[in-house]
Amino acid sequence: MNGFERRTMQKKELILTAAWQLFSSRGYAGTAVNDIADAARVSPATVYNYFETKERLHAAAVLRWMEEQVARYEQLLNAPLRFPEKTRALMELEADNLRLLADASRHTRGDGEEALRQSIETFGDGQASRFFSRYLEQGKAEGFIDPALTEEAAKRYYDMFNRELARLLAASADAEEAGSALDEWLKLFFFGLAGPTGSAGNRS
């Protein structure tokens, strides 16, 4: 990489960092390209030169942030914890991230909504999919996930729980209430309505 390419990369990183900070605090509609340029200490023309439109900049900033979150998920998956403890930590982080992503994407419309959808699909088919495969393999190896369960079915189940968990934690009045709700939610996640009976109960 030559000096020009390095400076270009550095400017893009500054713009993406500033963009995410503003989008996540003000929402999409409340953030102007001029504000992002000011925060990144570049001209609005530079922002448009690199990202063409506000919609594409928003999608790029969200994609970069999601990539950073996968690194955090990987750290949790590699931590010296039992699988249920890892799952709890991952669900808490994912619930927080879903709320943050919703705030950062408020009032996207038209091209902005489509650009965001494409970024999320690209991310889901790549890094997120590879991470979930590792998560699933680890759960099966430790005896907490049915070895016969397909990855597609497991992903749908996990996503369903995470969406509801985000709503549940958002409605909780305090940290203690949220923690109790999460404990109950994790029992449902691993053992279903029948509860931790028989051999499943011994794993908890």
Q: Which residues of 78-92 are buried (b: 16+ CB within 10 A; e: fewer)?
A: eeeeebbebbbbbbb
Q: Is the pLDDT of residue 12 over 50?
A: yes
Per-residue pLDDT tens over the stretch 18-64: 999 999 999 888 999 999 999 999 999 999 999 999 989 998 998 89
Residue 179 is predicted with a pLDDT of 66
Looking at residue 46, the DSSP 8-state letter turns out to be H
Q: Look-up: residue for tokens 């996990």?
A: 158
Phi, psi (5° rounding) for residue 126?
-110, -100
pLDDT over 90 percentage in the chain:
38
Higher pLDDT, 67 or 98: 67
Does the pLDDT at position 170 exceed 70? Answer: no
Other Cβ atoms less than 10 A from the Cβ of 108: the count is 22
Q: Share the mean pLDDT of the chain.
A: 83
Amino acid at 41: R
6 vs 81, residue with greater confidence: 81
Q: Mind listing the pLDDT tens digit for each residue in 130-154? A: 888 999 999 999 999 999 999 999 9
Q: Which residue, chain included where needed, has tokens 């029948």?
A: 194
> Residues 15, 50: contact at Cβ < 8 Å?
yes
Coil, helix or strand at residue 32: coil
* pLDDT at residue 176 in the model: 67
Question: What's the pLDDT at 175?
Answer: 57
> What per-residue confidence (pLDDT) applies to 173?
56
d(C-alpha 100, C-alpha 120), whole Å: 14
9: Cα within 13 Å, side-chain hemisphere:
6
Q: What is the pLDDT of residue 200?
A: 41
Q: What is the pLDDT of residue 198?
A: 45
Q: What percent of the chain has pLDDT over 70?
A: 81
Spatial CA neighbour of 136 closest among 118, 122, 124, 151: 151
**Is the pLDDT confidence value at 7 over 90?**
no
For the segment 60-74, the average pLDDT, to the nearest whole number, is 90
What residue type is 133 in one-letter code?
S
| Ordered structural domains, the chain, with CATH | 54-191 (1.10.357)
User: Is residue 6 pLDDT above 80, yes or no?
Assistant: yes
The pLDDT score that the predictor gives to residue 197 is: 60
- Answer whether 58's CB lies under 8 Å from 23's CB: yes
Return the structure tokens found at 159: 């996503």
